[in-house]
Amino acid sequence: MVTLKSIAAKAGLSVSCTARALKGRPDISASTCKRVRKIAVRLGYSPNPMLAALAAYRQSKKQISYKSTLAIMTPAPDTQCWLENPLTRDLLSGVHTQAESLGYRTDYFNFGHGAKTHRQMWRILRSRGICGGIMPFPVSSDEINLPFEKFPCVNLFGEPHSRSVPTVSSFHSQSMELVLTKLLKCGYRYPALILAKGLSRMLHHGWWMAFIAYSSDFSKTFTYFHDDFPIDFSDLAKWSEKRKVDSLIFCCSENSILNQHKVGRVLPKHIGVICMDIIDRKCGLSGIYQNRFQGGSVAVEWLHSMILTSYLGVTFKHQSIMIPGVWEEGTTCPVK
């Protein structure tokens, strides 16, 4: 593994001087910076994105000057709907807050559909000097035709493992394992996973696979697929009663569950209700809180580290950073 120390030895410099040269600090001559960068490229130096993000965070505590603009690329024709949508609001809040602390502005770009539209957007990004991009949920970077090898990007809360760019996503398998552990402790033995047919193979695949992997301690488990939202609670209640299900794990936000209660459609009281994607921690449901604000912040930190090292010709592997879920006690999963 190539480290700063090995680059410093090759260049005949100290480690601190080498680090400053790689960053292009003004106290190091331009010729030295150029020579050190060439050595780093020749040796195949690839900075650790998490350490670079930590360094960027420390630097953010100092006086920050405006650097450049980050693109937030969305399919929404109106950016206001993204800011108001509870699924994306906290993500974007985390992005804006962290971007500002690091000296970046943010601007919205609607990427549209089709290769022609994507080429037009790429020309606009280049002409405006945009240095990197964030693609927030539910955008899949694999659906966007951009030269990602030239343009640092991070996929945010989309599919956990993008084929094109690094991804920051919620830790679905960890969250499901946590939920199943809680259900066992509370005395539930017949849980059912509630999935939407259209999403089960995409964003919810991690929950589904973890449910299968970690459910061996239960007497019996079930999976229920609903066609679309809103979920038909009447049909779900009949299905649950027939199979003697004692707990339901919903792979959706709390609004999809609570809205049914508002119109008088309720589930049997003896059935535990779990929400895998709690946005409002005061909603009263038991389940998993996914820290979207943290996800947005981490995505910008990672993108910042990619931008700082892009001049070295470093290509980041398509890694994923998983944001762990937190259990919310709520009132819908009482001890049996």
Domain ranges of the chain: 4-45, 68-170+293-324, 172-290
pTM of this prediction exceeds 0.75: no
pLDDT digits (tens, 9 = 90+) for 284-330: 999 999 889 999 999 999 999 888 887 666 666 667 888 999 999 99
Name which of 50-59, 84-93, 210-219 the model is least confident about: 50-59
pLDDT at 138 over 70: no
Give the per-residue pLDDT at 211.
94
Give the per-residue pLDDT at 273.
95
Where residue 68 falls among pLDDT bands split at 50, 70, 90? confident
Residues 172-290, CATH architecture: 3-Layer(aba) Sandwich (3.40)
pLDDT at 51 over 60: no
Name which of 73-82, 145-154, 177-186, 284-293 the model is least confident about: 73-82
pLDDT at 120 over 90: no
Superfamily of chain region 68-170+293-324: Response regulator (3.40.50.2300)
In whole numbers, what is the pLDDT of the chain averaged over residues?
A: 82
Give the per-residue pLDDT at 22.
79
- Phi, psi of 247, deg, nearest 5: -155, 145
Fold matches, 68-170+293-324 and 172-290: yes
Residue 319, token pair as written in the block: 């890694």
Greater model confidence, 257 or 261? 257
